[in-house]
A and B are shown apart, each in its own frame.
Chain A
Amino acid sequence: MKKYFAEFTKGIIKENPTFVLALGLCPTLAVSVSLSNGIGMGIAATFVLLGSNIIIAMLKDFIPDRIRIPCFIVVIATFVTITEMMMKAYSPALDRALGIYVPLIVVNCIVLGRAEAYAQKSSVLNSFFDGLGMGAGFTLALLLISGIREFLGAGKIFGHTVFKAFEPAFVLGMPSGALLVIGLLLGFFNLLKHRKT
């Protein structure tokens, strides 16, 4: 059990996909405008990651090595299509807010990266916990970034205004603000890592 727990937690801190591996930055930059978008994107990506990790770990002995990437993409695309249809059916507002970035989870490098680097060489149970941990790490990173951007850039938390007198800095809600926040957070986490060693 302890082994599985380690598989789970490594995705959150030691190998956090956003801040340590610097993967999946494109959706992170694009959708981290508000907390609800961040949670929506995080859960959608976690679901795809979990599904693709399990299926690929199951199929690893049947996939020929030379065409493994197309095979992985077929599996991933299936789960993305499920996610997109579910989202359209049950929360159309979130689907409109995330727009093109839901179908683009197909090319999210975290998903393909975990399939290539982990799931195709590991057992099903290990892959399950790896996917869960990586998804949780991605979701937490998105929450942190979108929380900062929503609070400072729009003065809101989950769409509710917090302080009336606070005048938000619009630039953090713009694309340049996303680059700024992610850059500063990456630097901050690198600093913490250097302090430890």
Chain B
Amino acid sequence: MKNNFTVSAAPHLHNKESTAKIMWAVVLSLVPSGIAGVWIFGRGALWVIILGVAAAVITEGVLQLLTKRKLTIFDGSAILTGLLLAYNLPPKVPFWLPIIGSFFAIAIGKQVFGGLGQNIFNPALVGRVFLVASWPKYMTTFTQALNYDALTSATPLAALREGKILENISYLDLFLGKRGGCIGEVCILALLLGAIFLLIRGYISWHIPVTYIATVGIFTYIFGAKALFSGDWLFHILSGGLILGAFFMATDYVTSPLTYKGQIIFAIGCGVLTAVIRLWGGYPEGVSYAILMMNAATPIIDRHTKHRIYGTK
């Protein structure tokens, strides 16, 4: 006899949410940042985004057909991975870079582990880190904002690393995105719009992003300058990929801890690692490595922050 009853513990909830609906909502919340990126860096950025998304969807479809699994290219998760990967690329990369990045993100970052829900690491970040390690020349060449003639410029964090003084860039410029950087990370205003939408709808909770950003702020305030307790914490929060990473990538359901307590531990870890890499590491930016390292620690965090089951010790 086929068992039609699912027996589970209370509370029993039923609503219309599904994986596909949440994924599409996250994709929607990322649209403002994409528009801002294209406006800031020109039409080339739009091509990078389109190629990244298309390659991710095609890779997922082809691999699922080859392995004879259920086709899930319309649940939005592959589109989200491609979109996040493209947002993590500089605007003037050769056309094949987002394609290879998306292929790697989906094939190695996700499908090798068994598809959505099985991956240990955030697929988009796996793709980005692969590209950074393979073609550093393209991944560290950034163009000036609002200047479509493709003049190269350093990101504020890279300039800081080289010891240049950042006089001509204000906090407002950083907030609105008038700086060199990756396509989707520059306009903080647009990212916050999307993040507020997700928070109001309850698709993400405040625990990871707020703790993550606060940890980076406190850490860089204490250790960011030669003297203790005098670092430029607001600069560190507004530059680099911190806002994009904290709201849209560290909060990935699959690769972050399940309980709020675990999520706060996860986010503190991300924040400390990001600040350590930025201040003393080999790279100017550390958000992607920090999140990937804490992804690896997620199973152990989950094991130690489990809720006590009623009736057990």
- How many angstroms from the CA of A176 to the CA of B134 in the assembled complex? 11
For B108, list chain A residues within 8 Å (CB).
180
Instruction: State whether the Cβ of B130 lies closer than 8 Å to any Cβ in chain A.
Output: yes
For B130, list chain A residues within 8 Å (CB).
169, 171
Instruction: State whether the Cβ of A65 lies closer than 8 Å to any Cβ in chain B.
Output: no
Instruction: State whether the Cβ of B136 lies closer than 8 Å to any Cβ in chain A.
Output: yes
- How many angstroms from the CA of A172 to the CA of B135 in the assembled complex? 11
Instruction: State whether the Cβ of A63 lies closer than 8 Å to any Cβ in chain B.
Output: no
Instruction: State whether the Cβ of A170 lies closer than 8 Å to any Cβ in chain B.
Output: yes
For B134, list chain A residues within 8 Å (CB).
168-172
B135, A167: Cβ atoms closer than 8 Å = yes
| A167, A168, A172, A176 pick with most chain B CB within 10 angstroms | A167
Size of B's binding interface in residues, CB under 8 A: 8
Chain A nearest Cβ from B99, distance in angstroms: 13
- How many angstroms from the CA of A167 to the CA of B135 in the assembled complex? 8
For B136, list chain A residues within 8 Å (CB).
170
- How many angstroms from the CA of A135 to the CA of B133 in the assembled complex? 34
| A168, A169, A172, A187 pick with most chain B CB within 10 angstroms | A169
How many pairs of A and B residues are in contact by the CB < 8 Å rule? 18
Mark A164-186 against chain B: 1 for CB-CB distance below 8 A, else 0. 00011111101010001000000
Among the listed B112, B133, B135, which residue makes an inter-chain contact with A174, where contact means beta carbons less than 8 Å apart?
A: B133
- How many angstroms from the CA of A172 to the CA of B108 in the assembled complex? 14
| B108, B112, B130 pick with most chain A CB within 10 angstroms | B130
- How many angstroms from the CA of A174 to the CA of B134 in the assembled complex? 9
- How many angstroms from the CA of A21 to the CA of B288 in the assembled complex? 36
Identify which of residues 61-110 in chain A touch chain B, using a CB-to-CB cut-off of 8 Å: none
B135, A176: Cβ atoms closer than 8 Å = no
For B133, list chain A residues within 8 Å (CB).
170-171, 174, 176
Chain B nearest Cβ from A33, distance in angstroms: 15
Mark B96-129 against chain A: 1 for CB-CB distance below 8 A, else 0. 0000100000001000100000000000000000
Chain B nearest Cβ from A70, distance in angstroms: 40
- 7 extra A-B contacts, CB within 8 A, seeds A169-B134, A171-B134, A180-B108: A167-B135, A170-B133, A170-B134, A170-B136, A171-B130, A171-B133, A174-B133
18 example contacts (A-B, Cβ-Cβ < 8 A) are as follows A167-B135, A168-B134, A169-B100, A169-B130, A169-B134, A169-B135, A170-B133, A170-B134, A170-B135, A170-B136, A171-B130, A171-B133, A171-B134, A172-B134, A174-B133, A176-B133, A180-B108, A187-B112
Residues of B within 8 A of A (CB): 100, 108, 112, 130, 133-136
